[in-house]
């Protein structure tokens, strides 16, 4: 398997971490948003109950019912009670919340309000002397936009998860490739197999061996070549630029390099006079 394939697979699996963190951030953000809406609705419920306890006798009087009936016949809209004087846990609701009083009976239903609103539960107030099934429906509403609900929600955990996903994604691309696997120079090539020699030790295999600059250059050409084998023409061209006596010079260089490597585990093999090969044993 090529090194690039291995690193590509590691990168794909590694991307699962920032992806999972991003999904967790979105899910937790939606949950926080939903909890904020529920909290606003509960705040409306508590304020509505307090308001009804304070005004139930006034709102169930016959003159109030008569006024509500006339208003309904004229406007088809409920009576709106502003809630700026009520106490809310979320102080922003003082400017955004209100309550409706609607007359309902067997023939009438509470008018529906249009728009993006958060609604509380409703309370039905039945007058003591009501003979026609008339009741007063009280319900709270808050004109909260998505932005205001989002601002009221606790986004600490989603923000932390989002930051971690960005940092982990950046780390996948910014950290040196050698932290993931191997140096960049080896990413796109398939390294030759060497019996008994760890891959990371090939660049140091000639360390400590006494060689002339030309001998070391020759040995490194073999070491870095595919299968550690190079044909004579390539060696002559690279080492002597195909001079007239290049083959004789190559023969002398090979012989002297063999002598220098005689006491090591490295051997130079001549393949039918066409190429030279480096073999490492031990």
Tell me which residue of 227, 248, 228, 250 sits closest to 238, measured CA to CA.
Answer: 250
Angle (CA) 60-94-52 rounded to 5° is: 20
- Burial of residue 233 (number of CB atoms within 10 Å: 0-12, 13-18, 19+): middle
Alpha helices in the chain (DSSP H): 3-14, 16-59, 62-75, 93-96, 146-152, 156-174, 177-180, 213-224, 232-240, 246-260
User: Residue 182 has what pLDDT?
Assistant: 45
Tell me which residue of 240, 216, 241, 226 sits closest to 275, measured CA to CA.
Answer: 226
pTM of the model: 0.52
Q: How far from 200 is each of 2, 183, 196, 278, CA to CA, in Å?
A: 15, 10, 12, 18
User: Residue 200 has what pLDDT?
Assistant: 41
Contact 30, 80 (CB under 8 A): no
Tell me which residue of 75, 132, 77 sits closest to 101, measured CA to CA.
Answer: 77
Q: What tens digit of pLDDT does each residue of 182-204 get?
A: 444 444 444 444 444 444 445 57
Distance CA(248)–CA(242), nearest Å, equals 11
Domain boundaries, the chain: 16-152, 193-280
Contact 215, 253 (CB under 8 A): yes
Assess whether pLDDT exceeds 60 at residue 94: yes
- Burial of residue 91 (number of CB atoms within 10 Å: 0-12, 13-18, 19+): exposed
Contact 180, 7 (CB under 8 A): yes
Q: What tens digit of pLDDT does each residue of 29-60 get?
A: 999 999 988 999 898 999 889 888 888 888 88
Query: What average pLDDT does this structure show over 64-73?
Result: 81
Query: What average pLDDT does this structure show over 125-143?
Result: 81
């Amino acid at each position: 398997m090529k090194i690039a394939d291995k690193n590509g697979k590691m990168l794909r699996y590694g991307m699962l971490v920032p992806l999972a963190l991003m999904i967790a951030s979105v899910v937790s953000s939606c949950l926080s948003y939903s909890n904020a809406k529920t909290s606003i609705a509960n705040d409306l419920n508590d304020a509505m109950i307090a308001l009804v306890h304070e005004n139930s006798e006034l709102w169930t009087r016959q003159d109030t019912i008569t006024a509500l009936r006339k208003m309904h016949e004229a406007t088809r809209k409920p009576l709106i009670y502003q809630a700026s004087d009520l106490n809310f846990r979320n102080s922003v609701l003082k400017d955004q919340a209100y309550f409706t009083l609607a007359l309902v009976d067997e023939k009438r239903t509470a008018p529906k309000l249009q728009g993006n609103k958060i609604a509380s539960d409703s309370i039905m107030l039945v007058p003591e002397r009501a003979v026609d099934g008339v009741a007063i429906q009280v319900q709270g509403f808050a004109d909260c936009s998505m932005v205001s609900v989002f601002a009221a929600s606790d986004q600490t955990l989603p923000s932390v998860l989002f930051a971690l996903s960005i940092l982990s994604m950046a780390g996948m691309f910014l950290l040196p490739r050698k932290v993931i696997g191997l140096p960049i120079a080896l990413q796109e090539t398939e390294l030759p197999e060497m019996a008994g020699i760890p891959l990371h030790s090939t660049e140091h295999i000639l360390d400590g061996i006494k060689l002339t600059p030309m001998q070391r250059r020759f040995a490194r050409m073999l070491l870095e070549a595919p299968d550690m084998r190079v044909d004579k023409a390539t060696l002559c061209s690279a080492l002597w630029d195909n001079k007239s006596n290049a083959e004789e010079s190559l023969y002398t260089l090979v012989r002297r390099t063999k002598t220098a490597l005689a006491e090591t585990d490295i051997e130079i093999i001549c393949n039918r006079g066409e190429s030279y090969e480096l073999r490492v044993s031990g």
